[in-house]
C-alpha cells in the first residue's frame, strides 16, 4: 500500500496533501494514516490465521484513537503499565484480550489488572510471581499467568532494544523457569496459561527468533510431559520495518516461521507487534526555520527536535526526510537539527537535502516510538497528532500549550 506518495510534486497521506495539513495544524505535527494502520493489522492477522491472537504493543503509540482503530479490528493488546491498561479499556479494548508484560509491575498495577480480568500476566521473576499469587489470593481470584522466559539468543539489533540475551533485565532463564512452573502449578491462586518470550525489537533477520521459538517449544514439551498443559505460547513482538534500505520480514515470512516451528502443537499463539503495525503509518511534519553555514558544516535547523522524536538521538536511528513540496533548491549535505540545547539534538546527520527557510519536511517512519517517547524537554509543548482517513483529517491529540506545561506544578 502506497500510504505516503507524491502527486504532482506534493507529498500526500492517503488523499490529503501533507502541506495542507501542516498549514492547518502548524508544525511540528504527527500525522497517521488510518488506512495504513488497518492494512498492517489485517495483513498480519490474515497471515497468522485464527490460531494466533495479534496483540498490538501499546507502547509503540498509545494514542486513544489509534487504540480504537485496533480495538475495532478485534486486536488484542500488549500493555506494560496500568496507564496503558486504562487507555486500552477507554478505547474499547476487551480485557479478555489484554496481556500484561514488563519487569516492574507494581502491586497496584497487578491488583488493577486482576480485577479487570485481563487474559494473562507475563511474569518476569520469581519475586513477581509470588507477589501476584498473594494479590490474587487476597482478591479471591486465580491469576492467569505465563512466565516470560529469557532464551539467551542474540537478536542482532541495537543493544538498547535487545531483550532476550542473558545479561538483559528481561525474562527468566530457561532452567529457572522450568523449576518455577513446577512450583507455580502447586499454588491455588495461580492459573498457568502459557509461556511468553520476546527477544528484541526491529528484528530484520528471523533466524534468532526461530531459535527462541524452538527453545520455547522445548520447554512447552517438557512441561506437557510433566502434566502441565499450557494453552498458549506468546512469541512476543519485534518484527522490523523499513526505515531506509532494510529488507524486513513480511507477515508471510513471519507466519511461516511460526507455523513450521509450532504448527503441529495443540496450542494457541499470541504475538505482540508494535513497530510493524504503526511505524510506517506515521510521519512527523516539520518546518525549516533557518539554514546555517558554519564553514565546515551545513545545518538545516527545523522546528521539530529530540523532544518530539528521540530515536535519532537515542539510537542513532535513520529516518528518511522528504520535502512536502518537491522544490528546486540545490541539494546540500546537512545535519537536520532542532532547537533543543543539546548537540545530540538531531533528526539526521550528513543528509543530502534540498531545502530553504520556510520549507516543510516529513520525517518518515515516525508512527512507532515517536510521540510515545516525546517529552517537554526545554519546556517545549508536545506536537498535536492528526489522523487521516481518505479525504478527512481530525486532530486526535491537541497541541500542548503553556497551561499544559505548568498546570501540575505548585509555586
Ligand X SMILES: N[C@@H](CCCC[NH3+])C(=O)O
Active-site residue list: 341
Per CB under 6 A, 269 contacts ligand X: no
By CB under 6 A, name the one of 34, 78, 84, 359 that touches ligand PLP: 78
Q: Is 272 annotated as a binding residue?
A: yes
Please report whether residue 161 would count as binding ligand X according to CB under 6 A.
yes
Q: How far apart are CA 84 and CA 59, in angstroms?
A: 8
Q: Which is nearer to ligand PLP, 79 or 288 (CB)?
A: 79
Which partner from the list ligand PLP, ligand X, none does 185 bind, CB cut-off 5 to 8 Å by kind? none
Taking the CA of residue 383 as centre, how many other CA atoms within 13 Å lie in the half-sphere pointing to its CB?
A: 28
**322 annotated as ligand-binding:** no
Contact at 8 Å (CB) between 231 and 266? no
* From candidates 61, 125, 202, 374, binder to ligand X by CB under 6 A: 202
Closest CA to 169 of 124, 234, 126: 124
Q: Which of 44, 220, 254, 369 binds ligand X (CB under 6 A)?
A: 369
Q: How far apart are CA 384 and CA 381, in angstroms?
A: 9
Least distance from C-beta 365 to ligand X, angstroms? 10
Closer CB to ligand X, 40 or 311, in the complex: 311
Selected from 18, 48, 53, 57, the binder of ligand PLP by CB under 6 A is: 57
Kindly state whether residue 148 participates in binding ligand X, applying the rule CB under 6 A.
no
The answer to the question of whether 315 is labelled as a binding residue is yes
* Site for ligand PLP, residues 256 to 275, rule: CB under 6 A: 272-275
Binding-site string for ligand PLP from residue 366 to residue 405, where x marks contact by CB under 6 A and - marks none: --x-------------------------------------
Is 311 a binding residue for ligand X by CB under 6 A? The answer is: yes
Q: Distance (Å, rounded) from C-alpha 390 to C-alpha 256?
A: 33
Distance in Å, CB of 396 to ligand PLP, minimum: 20
Q: Which partner in ligand PLP, ligand X, none is near 272 (CB below 5 to 8 A by kind)?
A: ligand PLP
Cβ-contact 348, 321 below 8 angstroms: yes
Does the annotation place 30 within a ligand binding site? no
Among 105, 178, 187, 198, binds ligand PLP (CB under 6 A): 198
> Residue with CB nearest ligand PLP?
274
Q: Judge whether 274 is annotated as a binding position.
A: yes
For ligand PLP, which is the closer residue by CB, 278 or 324?
Answer: 278
| Cell numbers describing residue 241 | 520495518
Q: Which residue of 93, 164, 236, 251 would you call a contact of ligand PLP, by CB under 6 A?
A: 236
- Binding segment (CB under 6 A) for ligand PLP, from list 124-132, 236-244, 256-264, 399-407: 236-244
Q: Report the distance separating Cα 318 and Cα 365, nearest Å.
A: 9
- Looking at beta carbons only, is 3 or 61 nearer to ligand X? 61
Determine, following the binding rule CB under 6 A, whether residue 54 of this chain makes contact with ligand PLP.
no
State which of residues 52, 63, 201, 280 lies at the interface with ligand X (CB under 6 A): 201
Q: Which does 143 bind (CB under 5 to 8 A by kind): ligand PLP, ligand X, none?
A: none
Phi and psi, residue 270, nearest 5°: -135, 150
- As beta bridge partners, residue 121 has 100, 145
- Residue 81 interacts, among ligand PLP, ligand X, none and using kind-specific CB cut-offs from 5 to 8 Å, with none
3-state secondary structure the chain: CCCEEEECCEEEECCEEHHHHHHHHCCCEEEEEHHHHHHHHHHHHHHHCCCEEEEEEHHHCCCHHHHHHHHHCCCEEEECCHHHHHHHHHCCCCHHHEEECCCCCCHHHHHHHHHHCCCEEEECCHHHHHHHHHHHHHHCCCEEEEEEEECCCCCCCCHHHECCCCCCCCCEEHHHHHHHHHHHCCCCCEEEEEEEECCECCECCCHHHHHHHHHHHHHHHHHHHCCCCCCEEECCCCECCCCCCCCCCCHHHHHHHHHHHHCCCCCEEEEEECHHHHHHHEEEEEEEEEEEECCCCEEEEECCCCCCCCHHHHHCCCCCEEECECCCCCCEEEEEECCCCCCCCEEEEEEEECCCCCCEEEECCCCCCCHHHCCCHHHCCCCCEEEEECCEEEEEECCCCHHHHHCCCCC
**Smallest distance from the beta carbon of 62 to ligand X, in angstroms?**
12
- The annotation places the binding site for substrate at 275, 311, 315, 342, 369
- Site residues for ligand X per CB under 6 A: 59, 161, 201-202, 311, 369, 373
- Site residues for ligand PLP per CB under 6 A: 57, 60, 78, 101, 161, 163, 198, 201, 236-239, 272-276, 368
Amino acid at each position: 500500500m502506497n500510504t505516503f506518495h507524491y502527486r504532482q510534486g506534493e507529498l500526500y497521506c492517503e488523499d490529503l496533501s501533507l502541506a495542507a495539513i501542516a498549514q492547518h495544524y502548524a508544525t511540528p505535527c504527527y500525522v497517521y494514516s488510518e488506512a495504513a494502520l488497518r492494512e498492517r493489522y489485517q495483513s498480519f492477522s490474515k497471515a497468522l490465521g485464527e490460531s494466533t491472537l495479534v496483540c498490538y504493543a501499546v507502547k509503540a503509540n498509545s494514542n486513544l484513537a489509534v487504540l480504537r482503530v485496533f480495538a475495532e479490528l478485534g486486536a488484542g493488546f500488549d500493555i506494560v503499565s496500568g496507564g496503558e491498561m486504562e487507555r486500552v479499556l477507554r478505547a474499547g479494548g476487551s480485557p479478555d484480550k489484554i496481556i500484561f508484560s514488563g519487569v516492574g509491575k507494581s502491586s497496584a498495577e497487578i491488583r488493577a489488572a486482576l480485577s479487570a480480568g485481563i487474559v494473562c500476566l507475563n511474569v518476569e521473576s520469581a519475586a513477581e510471581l509470588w507477589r501476584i499469587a498473594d494479590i490474587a489470593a487476597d482478591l479471591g481470584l486465580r491469576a492467569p499467568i505465563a512466565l516470560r522466559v529469557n532464551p539467551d539468543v542474540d537478536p542482532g539489533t541495537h543493544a538498547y532494544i535487545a531483550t532476550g540475551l542473558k545479561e538483559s533485565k528481561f525474562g527468566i532463564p530457561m532452567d529457572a523457569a522450568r523449576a518455577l512452573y513446577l512450583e507455580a502449578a502447586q499454588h491455588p491462586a495461580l492459573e498457568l496459561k502459557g509461556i511468553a518470550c520476546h527477544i528484541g525489537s526491529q528484528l530484520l533477520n528471523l533466524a534468532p527468533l526461530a531459535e527462541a521459538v524452538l527453545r520455547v517449544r522445548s520447554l512447552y514439551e517438557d512441561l506437557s510431559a510433566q502434566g502441565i498443559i499450557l494453552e498458549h505460547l506468546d512469541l512476543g513482538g519485534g518484527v522490523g520495518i523499513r526505515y531506509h534500505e532494510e529488507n524486513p520480514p513480511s507477515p508471510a515470512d513471519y507466519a511461516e516461521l511460526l507455523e513450521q516451528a509450532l504448527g503441529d502443537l495443540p496450542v494457541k499463539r499470541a504475538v505482540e507487534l508494535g513497530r510493524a503495525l504503526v511505524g510506517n503509518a506515521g510521519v512527523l511534519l516539520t518546518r525549516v526555520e533557518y539554514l546555517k553555514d558554519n564553514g565546515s558544516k551545513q545545518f538545516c535547523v527545523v522546528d521539530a527536535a529530540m523532544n518530539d522524536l528521540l530515536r535519532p538521538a537515542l539510537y542513532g536511528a535513520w529516518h528518511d526526510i522528504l520535502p512536502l513540496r518537491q522544490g528546486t533548491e540545490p541539494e546540500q549535505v546537512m545535519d537536520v537539527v532542532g532547537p533543543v540545547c543539546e548537540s545530540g539534538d538531531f533528526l539526521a546527520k550528513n543528509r543530502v537535502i534540498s531545502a530553504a527557510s520556510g520549507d516543510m519536511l516529513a520525517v518518515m517512519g515516525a508512527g512507532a516510538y515517536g510521540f510515545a517517547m516525546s517529552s517537554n524537554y526545554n519546556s517545549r509543548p508536545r506536537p498535536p497528532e492528526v489522523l487521516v482517513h481518505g479525504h478527512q483529517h481530525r486532530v486526535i491529540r491537541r497541541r500542548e500549550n503553556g497551561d499544559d506545561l505548568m498546570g501540575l506544578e505548585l509555586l
